[in-house]
Amino acid sequence: MKKINTRELHRDLGYFYLGLIITFAFSGILMNHRDSFHAEKYTIETKAVEVKIAQDKEISEDQAKAIGEQLGIKDKFRRHRVRKNELSISYEKNDVEIDLKTGKGEVTSFIKTPIISQMMKLHKNTSNWWIYFSDIFGISLIFIAITGAMMIKHGKNTFMRKGWKLALAGLLFPIIFLVFLS
């Protein structure tokens, strides 16, 4: 029976996960900035609209859908909400914003950004097989990190001489961030 060589396993796992690491890193950066811009989709049209809305009662999901139909939106309804006298209706390919006092607003139509929207789905996907694959990926990243830290065995840049300080700093940084900035 052949002895398992951790250096070879580290290398092979690194090669195997290279594309996924780059994809997760890139889409993670985009997810971090989703409040600033929507990389997942881009606007193709914005048009002003005006509708009549009864202001004396709560707006139900059926009423929100009816408003969308009145505006000519033939799209998959996702959700609606009322906040600060503004009605927001979200569809798969359209967003509606209406001022409840005036009935004036706009419909923004958009399409998904090719490749980027699919990559960002990796962070949102909750199907069982993807969750298990992601768990295996996470465990593999831990293994890659540990075996990578242990590869240099001699000299001034070993883990025991220098690496542990950098690893500790890398561990403390997110902890400090969570404690003081959250």
Return all residues near 130 (Cβ < 8 A) that are at least 6 apart. Answer: 122
**CA dist list (Å): 83 to 80, 118, 163:** 10, 30, 51
Structure confidence at residue 182 (pLDDT):
64
Give 80's pLDDT tier (boundaries 50, 70, 90): very high
Q: How many other CB atoms are found less than 10 A from the CB of residue 120?
A: 22
Given a cut of 90, is residue 145 above it in pLDDT? no
Structure confidence at residue 109 (pLDDT):
93
Of the candidates 88, 82, 98, 108, which has an alpha carbon nearest to the alpha carbon of residue 50?
A: 98
Residue 15 one-letter amino acid? Y
Structure confidence at residue 106 (pLDDT):
95
Given a cut of 70, is residue 56 above it in pLDDT? no
Counting DSSP H helices and E strands in the chain, the numbers are 5, 5
Structure confidence at residue 87 (pLDDT):
92
Query: What residue segments make up the domains of the chain, in order of their start?
Result: 41-112
Q: What are phi and psi of 64, to 5 degrees?
A: -65, -40
Predicted confidence (pLDDT) per residue in 31-47, tens digit:
777 777 777 777 888 99
Of the candidates 83, 82, 85, 91, which has an alpha carbon nearest to the alpha carbon of residue 60?
A: 82
Tell me what the mean pLDDT of segment 97-103 comes to.
91
Give 115's pLDDT tier (boundaries 50, 70, 90): confident
Given a cut of 80, is residue 162 above it in pLDDT? yes
Structure confidence at residue 174 (pLDDT):
82
Structure confidence at residue 12 (pLDDT):
87
Tell me what the mean pLDDT of segment 101-124 comes to.
85
Could you give the count of Cα atoms lying within 13 Å of 98 in the half-sphere of its Cβ? 25
Give me the chain's average pLDDT, please. Answer: 85
Structure confidence at residue 69 (pLDDT):
92
Of the candidates 127, 136, 125, 122, which has an alpha carbon nearest to the alpha carbon of residue 17?
A: 136
pTM above 0.75, yes or no: no
Structure confidence at residue 23 (pLDDT):
80
